[in-house]
C-alpha cells in the first residue's frame, strides 16, 4: 500500500527556516518532520511513498538521495570510483518524488501523482502534521464504512486558555484545553482509486470541492482520533514539537 504525502508547502508562518528550505524539511530533533511522518507509516508496514514536491522540492530529493549513504557504513574507493555498503540502518523505504508545481493547490498535487499510485487504495496526508495515529484502526473503519475517502478527525487545542465566566466572576481557568466536540481534518486519510474525477485541475484544493462533494454524497467517513496530534503551522508549533521530542516519550513516536 502506498502513502501519498503533500510536501509542496512553503511554511511562511514558521519564520526564517521557511526561506531556506521547504516546510516538510524543517527539523524536529534533528530530523525533518517529513521523516517523522514516514516513520509513523513505516510502523504499520507502509513503506512505499509518493511525495508531492513543490517549493524547493529539489532539496527533498537531495535529502533522500543522501539519506541511505549517511545511515550506512561504507568503503569509498576514490581511485576506482566505487562505494561498498557494509551495513545500513536506513529504513526499507521506496520513495517516488514528483514535481507537482510550486503554486499548485493540494487537490491539483494529488491529481498529478495519481498515475504513480495506480488503480489501488492509498493513504494520503500532509507534510506537516504528526500524531500517534492508529493506522490499522483507521483502515479498519474505512473497510467498514465502504466510503471513497476516510479522514482522521482530531480535536485541536485552543491556542489560548479559556475562562469559564459567571456574571462578573471567573469560575475556572482552563489552560489550552481541547475544543469539546469540535473536530478538524487532521490528514492521515485513506482514499479509494478514481478520485481524480473530483479534481478539475491544479487550482482545486482537496479540502474544498472534492471533500465537500464526497460528504454530500455520503462517501466521506471520519476516524475519530482522541490521542496526540499536532500540526507544525507556526514557530510556536515547531518549538512545542521540539520540546516534546526532547522528553523521554515523544507522544507521536510509536516506532
Q: What is the mean pLDDT of residues 150-179?
A: 71
Q: Give the span between the Cα atoms of 189 and 181, in whole angstroms.
A: 20
**How do residues 176-206 score in pLDDT, each as one tens digit?**
655 566 889 999 999 999 999 999 999 999 9
Q: Contact, 64 vs 95, CB < 8 A? A: yes
Q: Is the per-residue pLDDT at 241 higher than 60?
A: yes
Q: What is the mean pLDDT of residues 221-229?
A: 96
DSSP string, 176-206: S-B-TT--EE-S-EEE-TTGGGG--STT--T
- CA 82 to chain CA centroid, Å, is 36
Q: What is the mean pLDDT of residues 206-227?
A: 96
Specify the pLDDT at position 85.
87
Choose among 55, 32, 19, 4: nearest CA to 232.
Answer: 32
Q: What is the mean pLDDT of residues 88-117?
A: 96
CATH T-level assignment (fold) for domain 2-148+184-245: Spore Coat Polysaccharide Biosynthesis Protein SpsA; Chain A (3.90.550)
Specify the pLDDT at position 47.
98
Q: What is the mean pLDDT of residues 94-114?
A: 97
- CA 245 to chain CA centroid, Å, is 17
- Domain borders along the chain are 2-148+184-245
Specify the pLDDT at position 166.
72
Amino acid at each position: 500500500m502506498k502513502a501519498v504525502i503533500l510536501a509542496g508547502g512553503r511554511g511562511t508562518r514558521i519564520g526564517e527556516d521557511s526561506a531556506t528550505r521547504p516546510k516538510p524539511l524543517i527539523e524536529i530533533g534533528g530530523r525533518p518532520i517529513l521523516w517523522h511522518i514516514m516513520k509513523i507509516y513505516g510502523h504499520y508496514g507502509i513503506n512505499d511513498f509518493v511525495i508531492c514536491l513543490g517549493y524547493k522540492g529539489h532539496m527533498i530529493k537531495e535529502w533522500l538521495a543522501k539519506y541511505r549513504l549517511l545511515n550506512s557504513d561504507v568503503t569509498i574507493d576514490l581511485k576506482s570510483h566505487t562505494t561498498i555498503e557494509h551495513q545500513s540502518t536506513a529504513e526499507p523505504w521506496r520513495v517516488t518524488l514528483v514535481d507537482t508545481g510550486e503554486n499548485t493547490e493540494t487537490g491539483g498535487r494529488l491529481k498529478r501523482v495519481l498515475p504513480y499510485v495506480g488503480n489501488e487504495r492509498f493513504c494520503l496526508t500532509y507534510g506537516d502534521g504528526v500524531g500517534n495515529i492508529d493506522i490499522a484502526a483507521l483502515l479498519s473503519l474505512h473497510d467498514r464504512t465502504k466510503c471513497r475517502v476516510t479522514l482522521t478527525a482530531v480535536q485541536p487545542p485552543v491556542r489560548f486558555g479559556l475562562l469559564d465566566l459567571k456574571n462578573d466572576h471567573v469560575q475556572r481557568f482552563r489552560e489550552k484545553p481541547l475544543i469539546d466536540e469540535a473536530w478538524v481534518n487532521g490528514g492521515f486519510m485513506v482514499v479509494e482509486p478514481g478520485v481524480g474525477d473530483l479534481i478539475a485541475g491544479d487550482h482545486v484544493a482537496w479540502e474544498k470541492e472534492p471533500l465537500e462533494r464526497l460528504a454530500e454524497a455520503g462517501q466521506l467517513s471520519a476516524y475519530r482520533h482522541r490521542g496526540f496530534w499536532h500540526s507544525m503551522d507556526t514557530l510556536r508549533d515547531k518549538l512545542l514539537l521540539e520540546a516534546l521530542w526532547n522528553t523521554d516519550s515523544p507522544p507521536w513516536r510509536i516506532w
